[in-house]
Structure 1
């Protein structure tokens, strides 16, 4: 006959002390980010060029994530453009600034998985594009070019574009985190300006992304 033990000694792991598990994980993430930022800074001082990566974040929280990373000493960037103008009672109200590509924040950091994993502890961050082990790298040159085009107004919502695309059309993305990738138009723009939704074949799956029409080239 097997006797069943009904009592246990000791305390469950992660329940001792006043700290919550989530709090300890956040401290670990913050520590990794601090270390990664320091390593990246030293890299730049010594003439190195750390690669850039794209973080997928909650739409509408791009600047909040950028500000959080900047406060931690992590180089980050959200290229911005002017949004659609509002027309009310014959008046035109200029559009507010908005991200060129919604739901993404660019970061520059030494390409070590443990440092990139620390980014996942930042509020509103969903994941690293491509994963922490094999993330999609972006060159410093391409990020500078993309940001310069955005600041120049090339991706402003109201800027007319001499390009007509229909649902199902194959297109080429010309700049940004998905530069030089093929996509398929899902929801086109019929006004010759503004945004379109495209589907990008990435890591064996389809990634829907909303991008400016001006960011595309028809194949």
Structure 2
């Protein structure tokens, strides 16, 4: 299966000016006291910058969450170096914001922000219960890299995700380890668009 991705901005669409960024940031700051209906959404960000985005949002008063897990242990000269903490799902930050496309579009002013899953007008909402479950399981170590899952997938297998922002989505395994630990790369169709996500084996079930 081929995966095609476009980078950059389409010709004819101007980049945000400094004034645009200031206006978007103003909308984000204002949404905290808007009193409108709030939901959780998944924001796609640059991999490795998840906590930086979380910190930016927290600094302006917006609730954000990056569930963390213990990464792979390193073995050096018969010594085991405990793994460092890493995001459960690379490249995504959960944000608690109003159901308002104009306000949500304000996320574009953040450094390292790429897109909102589902777009600004019809974003993919996540229930508070799903977010709490995801956070609690991460804190309990269920998604830790070294934790055996007893699951082994092969490229081309169909799987369904049952935890995290993509709960209920099914897709095709692109790559996977053979030891029952760590991550699996799954190709999902999210609102008509092919999306590759790297998730723990623990949240996948074979169809």
Structure 1 runs not aligned, ≥5 long = 1-20
Match of 1:214 among 178, 183, 202: 202
Match of 2:84 among 85, 96, 99: 96
- Kindly tell me the number of residue pairs found equivalent between the two proteins: 192
In structure 1, distance between residues paired with 2:192 and 2:25:
32
| Aligned match of 1:33 | 28
**1:22: Cα distance to partner?**
2.3
In structure 1, distance between residues paired with 2:17 and 2:112:
15
SS at match of 2:147: coil
| Aligned match of 1:111 | 99
**1:189: Cα distance to partner?**
1.2
| Aligned match of 1:205 | 193
| Aligned match of 1:175 | 163
| Greater than 3 Å deviation, 4+ residue runs | none
Is residue 114 of structure 2 the alignment partner of residue 126 of structure 1?
yes
SS at match of 1:157: coil
| Aligned match of 2:129 | 141
SS at match of 1:130: coil
TM-score, structure 1 length as denominator? 0.85
Structure 2 runs not aligned, ≥5 long = 1-15
Rg larger in structure: 1
Q: CA RMSD in A?
A: 1.1
In structure 2, distance between residues paired with 1:63 and 1:99:
8
